[in-house]
Structure 1
Amino acid sequence: MVDQDSAVDIMYPDLYKGLGLKSEDLATYSSHLVSFEGRMVAPKGLIRLPVQAGMDVVEVDFIVVDVFSPYTAIMGRPWLHTLGAVSSTLHQKVKYPSGGQVLEIVGSQVAVRQCLVVAIQHRPEAETSATADNEL
């Protein structure tokens, strides 16, 4: 998900685990974040990873959080700015300059709908406050 209002790039447990990352791969990150539900979230840490967009690769500092999300990651303003990209939620596109051209990443309406359904069906009250204390 691209969120131009997000001041950080976020990684969720499915991606973290899928990449085979371990807690020792994380640097300390002590600031708390506010979740979509308005709750304070204690990040597990920070990790810098390369992210490829087309032929361009940029280093991204992800804040790793252990909370529910239908997304695997949220790419925020830091990634957009590093890539020199402009996003449009209306058109589900991100456009960025590369090698004298303007390239675009096109989102999937089907994936957006699926994530929306999962987010609506999720019941945050079913999660305990211990969720933030569990290890990834």
Structure 2
Amino acid sequence: MASDLFDVSIDFETSHLFFPTLVHWILGGLLALILITKVAPFLAAVKRGERALPIVSESRDNLRFFATLALIPAYFALMAIVGDLFPYTGYGFLFVSMAFVLCMSLLYLHDWTKKALVIVVVNAVVAPSLAWFVLAKLFTITLP
């Protein structure tokens, strides 16, 4: 009878779902807490006219805003397309990430000096290359 307390049976068909389910419930609870403590008072202040909705009622740089909204889906779509040209190498991630970092950096670059452009280009080559090397080569993670 005492040995029953120490017997453990694991259902391997569903045991891998325990922690993701637990994390989902915790994240859901935190989301509810944020909505109650931060969003509800903010929306009440907007309704009273004390605050304004971000993006909608503030001035913004439309070129950068809409270019960013276009570059992000293009990044993911092109990563799959280029990745299919070089299967199982991660070159899709590498080449498209280089182009994405370059375009985003140039989009948000204010002072177009020779030094700034060199830094942008070096960063666009080095940062994705380093990420690709660490993920694809050191940790052997499959990249698109």
TM-score (norm 1): 0.23
More strand by share: 1
Structure possessing the higher radius of gyration over alpha carbons: 2
More helix by share: 2
TM-score (norm 2): 0.22
